[in-house]
Amino acid sequence: MEIKIGVKQTQREITLETDEDAKALAARIEEKIQSEGLLTFTDTKGRQIFVPAGSLGYVEIGAETARRVGFSA
């Protein structure tokens, strides 16, 4: 699924792909925002992204979609 992260006072957003469950991810984000902790994300290529919860502008979690294989008529 695709995640878009907006950071305060920054024009560009952070975009990454992850295999994490959407509900578990949303719960973890909510918990870190309330505790003002450090959010960590790991993308499908193994890269880690760290964002302080206090500097979050928004987090957009995309829908989980299965990848299609082959051609359709």
pLDDT tens digit string along 23-52?
999 999 999 989 988 999 999 999 999 999
Quote the tokens at residue 43.
Answer: 């993308």
Predicted local distance difference test score (pLDDT) of residue 41: 92
Predicted local distance difference test score (pLDDT) of residue 62: 86
Burial class (CB in 10 A: 0-12, 13-18, 19+), 3: buried
Does the structure show a pLDDT above 80 at 71?
no
**Distance from C-alpha of 19 to C-alpha of 71, rounded to nearest angstrom:** 24
Quote the tokens at residue 16.
Answer: 């990454």
Which are the contacts of 16, defined by CB distance < 8 A and separation ≥ 6?
2, 3, 5, 41, 43, 47, 49
